[in-house]
Structure 1
Amino acid sequence: MDDHELVRAFRQDGNQQAFAELLNRHQNKVYSYIYSMVMNPEVTNDIFQETFTKVITKMDDTYNEQGKWIAWVMRIAHNATIDHIRKRKRFVDVNATADSDYDFYDRLEDKDASDAQDDMEFREAKGSLLKHISSLPKEQREVVMLRHYHEMSFKEIAELTNVSINTALGRMRYALINLRKMFDKENGKTYEYVRRG
């Protein structure tokens, strides 16, 4: 069953197994998005639980079956995360390092690393990239995460963050400019890695 059929089974028949399947199918994406914004496992768990509580209670009232269910859920997760950040009266700075448990580019296959030296250089480049991404302004970091980690389209990013597509594109453009400036201060090999990535 696709998401649409599972949602309909849950809404019309109260099929708990259908909702469990939806949760199992998408929980990693939702959790990792929240974590990428707050970088704190306990806070992430709280916001994740809040998100799915709202999903269950609001599905009958506010979900429009014309749209993708996961896009609707991601919007709820996004709003809950932003609300949490605003309550703290400041945006959270990401202090991830190359040794962090969370690695932005773990999803990439290392196709070029044929020996230990190449592997080490590749990991150093990934760590350096993560460090620079973490130092971007929040709006730019968010677009980079959504585009490259969550593989969302700019239309989806614009809808999720409640901005125009041009604004989302502009934030990505400035993020890339800033990243290139950061890497320009480092050695040529790392900079070439970013250009290829």
Structure 2
Amino acid sequence: MRMENVQDAVLVRQYIEGKEYALEVLINRHKQKIYSFIFSKVMDKDITEDVFQDTFIKVIRTLKKGKYNEEGKFLPWVMRIAHNLVIDHFRKNKRMPKFQSRNDFDIFDVISNGADSTETEMILSQVHADVKRLVEELPEDQKQVLKMRIYKEMSFKEIAEQTEVSINTALGRMRYALINLRKIIEQHNIILTDN
């Protein structure tokens, strides 16, 4: 029997029974949908990769512990895990995206998500490119701190250690970077919206 024709539930059972290849088939089968869903929420390739990997680490742990009981609903279950990890990511970074405020998870929200997000994706991509270009106009020390904080998600303690300055100096540089960035945005008459 060809693996493409095997149902998810059968593959899950095979994986639980120790057949590692079954998980690989499941990942390959659903990778595109799960990856696209995560990317549509975080809009960053590196973060998407991290969340995708974390999703399957959680899937593997749950399956290995024998705690999987979503018989026949593998994809919605994995999507729910990915959805929760995306929320965790934004909570950790104190930036919550606009999720629908319902407690139940609907797979149709995910599937219909891709159609109208191409335009949004292009607009956001352009805004990100504009912001990155503006960041390049900052003084070097401010630009360095801003990139470490925003793009590398480093703490001010880590930034201070890596740049060999005090935490207060790192905080000050970040503050001036944001002030100067606002001035540059006003000079260029750029309107950054989140709609």
Q: TM-score, normalised by structure 1?
A: 0.48
